[in-house]
Structures are given as C-alpha cells and as structure tokens.
C-alpha cells in the first residue's frame, strides 16, 4: 500500500552510532508504505524538507548539544520553509555519551518554531562514552536499542501512511 507520503530522515554521525540508529529507523519505515529519504545533514536542505510529509531528525550529543552539522542543516533550512510545513509530524533520535536530553530539547525548540507536531518522545541511546578515547571511538549500537529505533521509524511511517499524522 503506497501512500504517496515521504518521510525525511536527516542525520549526522561522526563515530557511526547515530548513522546506525537512523538507518535502522529508515529501514523499518520503508516497509510501511511510505517513501523514505535518508539524508546526511550536510546534503539535506530546504527542498528536501518541503518535499517530505514527516521528519526524523538524528544527532549525536556533542558537548550537551546537537551536532554542528545538524545545526547547520537547520540554519540553512529554517527560514526558507517557515510557515510551509506547519503541523507535520516529527520525531528525534539522539546518540548520547551521557545524557542527551539537552540535544533533544534543542531539536524540540527548533521543531516548535517550525510548528511541527511531535509524535513520539525523543529516543535517546546512551553509549556511556566519557573519555576522549571512548567518545571518538567507532560506536556499535546494541540490538535492543536498534530495535527501539526500528519501532520508532515504523510507527512514524505507519502514521503517515494511514493519515493519522
């Protein structure tokens, strides 16, 4: 059942953790009757945002904030799409070393400015990376956390496909 709806998944990942989370969510979403566009934040922009019916924003926690590349995506896209995407659904993924809540709050504030509708609580995966070596090391997200990402992606896509959002 193709709904004609598109889910845009925008992510940035330095050590691979956030990429794994975004890919798991996107893969599950693709099986729910929507087109899925998985875009690195450096390549995504206003046209991608306008063409989508729903959004999943994924970021690592960097110094208790969203990544600079995801922030750059929002900076480049914010005003060109303002008041053109009101009430569209979104959710967020955060790959955190310790907490992740501030990064999730930053995404929520930007989404509030865009007048998007949150359809799930932010999904935060904590890697507990606390030393410089652990923070910069490649990440491997566990199966249970990837399943949570898949469930969120599938739910967001299903809501779009069924017209719930």
Q: What is the mean pLDDT of each run of 10 residues along the chain (165 residues)?
A: 87 98 98 95 98 98 96 98 98 96 98 98 96 94 98 97 94
**98: helix, strand or coil:** coil
For residue 110, tell me if it sits in a domain.
yes
Q: Which two tokens stand for residue 20?
A: 């794994």
For residue 66, tell me if it sits in a domain.
yes
The CATH number of the domain holding residue 157 is: 3.40.50.360
For residue 84, tell me if it sits in a domain.
yes
**pLDDT at residue number 31:** 87
Task: Round to whole Å and give the CA distance between 45 and 73.
Answer: 6
Domain limits for position 136: 6-162
Determine which helix (DSSP H) or strand (DSSP E) holds 20, and give its type and residue range.
Answer: helix 17-30
State the Cα torsion 22-25-27-30 to the nearest 10°: -120
**pLDDT at residue number 2:** 65
Q: Which two tokens stand for residue 98?
A: 């310790």
For residue 107, tell me if it sits in a domain.
yes
Task: Round to whole Å and give the CA distance between 153 and 22.
Answer: 9
Work out how many domains the chain is built from and give that number: 1
pTM score above 0.85: yes
Strands (E), 6-161: 6-11, 35-40, 54-60, 89-96, 117-118, 123-126
**pLDDT at residue number 141:** 98
For residue 93, tell me if it sits in a domain.
yes
For residue 1, tell me if it sits in a domain.
no
CA distances from 117 to 24, 89, 98 (A): 22, 5, 27
For residue 52, tell me if it sits in a domain.
yes
């Amino acid at each position: 059942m193709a709904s004609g709806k598109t889910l845009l998944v925008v992510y940035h990942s330095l050590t691979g953790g956030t990429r794994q989370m975004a890919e798991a969510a996107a893969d599950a979403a693709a099986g729910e009757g929507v087109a899925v566009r998985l875009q690195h934040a450096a390549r995504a922009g206003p046209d991608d945002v306008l063409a989508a019916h729903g959004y999943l924003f994924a970021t690592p926690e960097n110094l208790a904030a969203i990544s600079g590349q995801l922030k750059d995506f929002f900076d480049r896209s914010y005003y060109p799409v303002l008041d053109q995407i009101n009430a569209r659904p979104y959710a967020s993924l955060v790959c955190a070393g310790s907490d992740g809540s501030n990064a999730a709050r930053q995404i929520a504030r930007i989404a509030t400015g865009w007048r998007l509708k949150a359809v799930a609580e932010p999904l935060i995966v904590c890697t507990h990376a606390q030393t410089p070596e652990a923070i910069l090391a490649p990440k491997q997200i566990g199966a249970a956390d990837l399943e949570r990402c898949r469930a969120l992606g599938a739910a967001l896509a299903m809501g779009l496909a069924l017209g719930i959002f």
